[in-house]
Chain A
Amino acid sequence: MRRIRAFKDRSTRHFMLGIAIFTILFLVIMGLCLFFKALPIMKEKSLWVLLTSADWKPFKGDFGFLPFIISTFYVSLIAIIIALPLSLLVSVYLNSYASVKVRRFFEPVVDLLSGIPPIIYGVWGTLTIVPLIANNIAPRFVEFSSGYTVLAGGLVLAVMIIPLLISIMVEVFRSIPREMTDASLSMGATKWQTVKKVILRRSFSGIIAATVLALSRAFGETMAVLMVCGNITQIPHSVFDACYPLPALIANNYGEMLSMPSYESALMFSAFLLFIIVIMFNGLSRVILNQIEKRYQFS
Chain B
Amino acid sequence: MKIKLLEEKVFKIIMVGAAVIILGVLLFIIGTVLYKGLPSLSWDMITKLPGGGFYLGKEGGVLNAIVGSVFIIFGSLALSILISVPLVMYINFYLPQNSGFSKTIRFSLDILFGIPSIVYGAFGFALMVYLGIRASLLGGIITVGMLIMPIMMRSFDEVARLLSRDLPDALLSLGATKYEMTRVLLKQLMPGLMTAILLAIGRGIGDAATVLFTAGYTDNIPASLNQPAATLPLAIFFQLGSPVPEVQNRAYASAVILTVIILILSFSARYFSSKFSKNKI
A residues apposed to B, CB below 8 Å: 5-6, 8-9, 12-13, 15-17, 19-20, 23-24, 26-27, 30, 33-34, 37, 85-86, 89-90, 92-94, 97-98, 106-109, 111-113, 115-124, 126-128, 159, 162, 166, 190-193, 195, 213, 216-217, 219-223, 227, 247, 250-251, 254-255, 267-268, 271, 274-275, 278-279, 281-283, 286, 290
Contacts and interface: CB of A to CB of B under 8 A. Distances in A.
Given A8-B177, A268-B126, A109 B209 contact: no
B240 interface: yes
A5 B176 CA distance: 9
A279 B87 contact: no
Contact of B177 (A5, A115, A195, A219): A5
B178 interface: yes
B109 interface: yes
B90 A220 contact: no
Interface of B: 4-5, 7-8, 11-12, 14-16, 18-19, 21-23, 25-26, 28-29, 32-33, 36, 83, 86-87, 89-91, 94, 101, 104-105, 107-112, 114-119, 121-123, 125-127, 177-180, 182, 199, 202-203, 205-209, 212-213, 233, 236-237, 240, 251-252, 255, 258-259, 262-263, 265-267, 269-270
A223 B119 contact: no
Contact of B29 (A108, A116, A222): A116
Contacts of B18: 85-86, 89-90, 93
B262 A117 contact: yes
Given A112-B26, A120-B29, A126-B240, A275 B119 contact: yes
Contacts of A247: 116, 118, 209
Given A93-B16, A117-B262, A119-B233, A250 B111 contact: no
A118 B126 contact: no
13 contacts: A19-B83, A20-B101, A27-B111, A93-B18, A107-B270, A118-B233, A223-B237, A227-B237, A247-B209, A255-B213, A274-B116, A282-B111, A286-B110
Contacts of A13: 94, 178-179
Given A115-B265, A123-B252, A219-B116, A16 B206 contact: no
Given A13-B178, A123-B255, A220-B119, 15 more contacts: A23-B112, A30-B123, A34-B123, A89-B14, A112-B266, A115-B203, A118-B208, A124-B29, A162-B22, A195-B11, A221-B116, A227-B237, A247-B118, A254-B125, A268-B122
A112 B61 CA distance: 27
6 closest A-B pairs by CB = A220-B116, A117-B206, A16-B90, A89-B18, A271-B122, A93-B15
Contact of B21 (A86, A216, A268): A86
B233 A223 contact: yes
Given A86-B18, A90-B18, A123 B240 contact: yes
A108 B23 CA distance: 10
A254 B212 contact: yes
A267 B258 contact: no
A27 B108 contact: yes
Given A124-B29, A286-B111, A17 B90 contact: yes
Contacts of A120: 29, 33, 206, 255, 258-259, 262
B219 to A, nearest CB: 18
Contacts of B83: 19, 23
Contacts of B107: 286, 290
A23 B259 CA distance: 32
Contacts of B207: 117-118
Nearest to B12: A97
B112 to A, nearest CB: 6
A217 B117 CA distance: 10
B28 to A, nearest CB: 7
A33 B108 contact: no
A14 to B, nearest CB: 11
A284 B277 CA distance: 32
Contacts of B33: 120, 123-124
Given A9-B179, A117-B258, A274 B108 contact: no
Given A19-B87, A86-B21, A127 B177 contact: no
Contacts of A166: 22
B237 A19 contact: no
A275 to B, nearest CB: 5
Contacts of A24: 104-105, 108
A283 B177 CA distance: 37
A9 B178 contact: yes
A118 B237 CA distance: 11
Contacts of A192: 4, 7-8, 11-12
Nearest to B122: A271
- Which of A20, A221, A247 neighbours the largest number of chain B CB atoms within 10 Å of its CB? A20
Contacts of B122: 34, 250, 254, 267-268, 271
